[in-house]
Amino acid sequence: MSASSTPGHSRLTKAHKLSIAGVATFSAAALAFSLVPADAAQAETVSAAPVAWTKVVDGAQTKAMHGHLSAQQVIADANAKAAAKAKADADAKAKAEAAAKKDREQKTAASRSAARTPVFANNLDGWIKEALFIMKREGIPGTYAGIHRNIMRESSGNPMAINNWDINAQNGIPSKGLLQVILPTFKAYHVKGTKFDQYDPVANIVAACNYAADRYGSMDNVNSAY
C-alpha cells in the first residue's frame, strides 16, 4: 500500500506544483500587464498636468496684459488728443489776441498821426506849409522863403499855370503848376503820399523841391529857371 501510494502522491504533487507554477506565472504576467499601462498613463497625466496648467496661466496673463496695454493706449490717445486740442485752442487764442493787439496799435497810431497832422489852409500859404510838412518827413531840404520866391517867379502863385510857348511846350511836355514842372520830372521825383497830378499844388511843390534838392542841393539855391 505504501509503495503504490508513493508514486501516485509524487505525480499529484508534481502536477499540483506545475499547476500552481502556471497559475503563479499567469497571475504575475497579468499583474505586470495591468500595472505597467496604469503607471505609464498616470505618469503621463502627472507630467502633462503642469504643462496644461502653465498654458492656462500664461494665456490668462497674456490676455490680461493685452487688455492692460489696450486700456493704456486708449488713455494715451485720449490724452494726446486733448493736448493737441488744448494747443490748437491756445494757438488760436494767441493769434486772435495778436491780431486784436495789432489792430489796436494801428488804430492808435492812425489816431496819433491824425492828431499830429495839422490842418492846412487851401491857399498859397497853406500849400507851402503842407509841402514843408511832407518834405520834413521825407528828408527833402527847403525853406518857406525859398519855395515862395520861386513860386512867385514861375507862376505868380497860380496852381493852374501852364507854359505853352517855351522849348518844353514845343516838345509836347509843357511846364505846369506852381513851380512849372514838366511831366517827366514830375514822374521821376513824385513823392508817395501826394497826388499824382502836376496841377495839385502840394504835389507840384514837393516834386519840384525833390528835383531841386537832387540837382541843386535845395530849392533855396534856385534863383532862375531850372
Write out the chain's pLDDT in tens, 226 residues: 444 444 444 444 444 443 444 434 434 444 333 444 445 444 444 454 555 555 555 666 667 677 777 778 888 888 888 889 999 999 999 999 899 999 888 887 777 766 677 999 999 999 999 999 999 999 999 999 999 999 999 999 999 999 999 999 999 999 999 999 999 999 999 999 999 999 999 999 999 999 999 999 999 999 988 8
**pTM of the full structure:** 0.52
Contact assessment for residue 184 and residue 173, using Cβ atoms and an 8 Å cutoff: yes
- Classified as helix, coil or strand, 73 is helix
The torsion defined by the Cα of 117, 121, 122 and 125, in degrees rounded to 10, comes to -110
Q: 181 forms bridges with which residues in the sheet?
A: 176
Query: What Rg do the C-alpha atoms of the chain give, in angstroms?
Result: 61
